[in-house]
Amino acid sequence: MTVKVIVKEDYQEMSCAAAHVVEKKITENPQAVLGLATGSTPLATYKEMVKGYKEGEFSYRNIQTLNLDEYVGLDKKHPQSYHRFMCEHLFDHIDIDLDNTHIPRGDAPDIEQECQRYEGLIDQIGPPDLQILGIGRNGHIGFNEPGTPFDSTTHVVTLTESTRKANARFFSSLEAVPTHSITMGICSILKSKQILLLASGEEKAPAIDRLLNGEVEEDFPASALKNHPDVTLIVDEKAYQKAVK
């Protein structure tokens, strides 16, 4: 399968296009299940979705959501938790029912059991009709770093030193940064009916190049998306430039 590619001028245009895809989906199916991601890439997409809601055009009242990942050890009130992130950037500003939003529980007493529960939940209410996804510079999707088996389901990941360092800014010290995360596996992500991959900025250019022109291999997790029948990549010019050369 080939990845459908939409090139937009910049980050803002990319985000508007992504929001339109979401809004089209929830209009067709007001009970749709959306797969959501955190990080800086989808921020403006969420902003656009909030704008669309505020202008009275779209409603999320009966939408369900499944998030990709969460830090192990952080409860949902922790300022750096992905629960907090989603509330702050999206859920607080739209009419979604919080009971319909699902994020792995980082503070579950038995984290292995939580992985099973969450994978079961994906099958039970999902899989997502539309999954929003970002891509790491090394091709990671969710917290699935290079080498993650393509048949992986929701699992616990030991964070690499570089990931922890990159996230240390908002914690009191490097020691306070969580050492593990819980993430949907690659197989779980591929269960989604449609995948919307977003990439913006020069730093993502090598990853987009490798995704579009490289091999499908576990060393580059995002390449698994090529095994999926319905993937759309929305990319800005800076992130796309290398891929066309």
Partner 1 sequence: MTQTLLIKNVTIIVENEKEITGSLWIEEGKIADISKEGFSDRTANRVIDGKGKNWSVIPGFIDVHIHGAAGHDTMDATQEALEGIATVLPEEGTTSFLATTMTQSEAAISKALANAADYIDHQVDGYRAEIIGIHLEGPFISKDKAGAQPLEHIIAPDLEQFNAWNETARQLIRLVTIAPEEPGALQLIEHLSKSDIVASIGHTNASFAEVAQAVEKGATHVTHLYNQMRGLHHREPGALGAALLHKELSVEIIVDFVHAHQEAVRLAYEAKGPEKMMLITDAMRAKCLAPGEYDLAGQQVTVEDNEARLADGTIAGSVLTLKQAVANLKETVHPSVYDLIQLTSANAAKELNVFDRKGSISTGKDADLVILDEDWDVAVTICKGTIAYEQEGR
- Does 61 bind partner 1 (CB under 8 A)? Our answer is no
Q: Is the dihedral of CA 62, 67, 72, 78 positive or negative?
A: negative
- Does 172 bind partner 1 (CB under 8 A)? Our answer is yes
Catalytic site residue from 48, 69, 70, 236: 69
Among 55, 169, 215, 229, binds partner 1 (CB under 8 A): 169
- Does 173 bind partner 1 (CB under 8 A)? Our answer is yes
- Does 99 bind partner 1 (CB under 8 A)? Our answer is no
Rounded to whole angstroms, the Cα distance separating 213 from 230 reads 18
Burial of residue 213, with CB atoms counted within 10 A of its CB: 0-12 exposed, 13-18 middle, 19 or more buried: exposed
Q: Is 237 a catalytic residue?
A: no
DSSP 3-state assignment of 204?
A: helix
Q: Give the type of residue at 244.
A: V
Catalytic site residue from 114, 119, 145, 236: 145
Least distance (Å) from partner 1 to the CB of residue 148? Answer: 29
Rounded to whole angstroms, the Cα distance separating 79 from 77 reads 6
Q: Of 48, 102, 107, 98, which Cα lies nearest the Cα of 78?
A: 107
Catalytic site residue from 78, 100, 107, 138: 138
Least distance (Å) from partner 1 to the CB of residue 49? Answer: 13
Q: Is 69 a catalytic residue?
A: yes
Q: Kindly give the residue spans of alpha helices, DSSP state H, lying in the chain.
A: 11-28, 43-54, 82-89, 111-125, 161-167, 186-190, 205-213, 237-244
Binding mask 38-57 for partner 1 (x = CB under 8 A): ---------------xx---
Question: Looking at beta carbons only, is 93 or 117 nearer to partner 1?
Answer: 93
Q: Which residues are near partner 1 by CB under 8 A?
A: 53-54, 77, 79-80, 84, 87-88, 92-95, 98, 169-173, 176
Catalytic residues: 69, 138, 140, 145
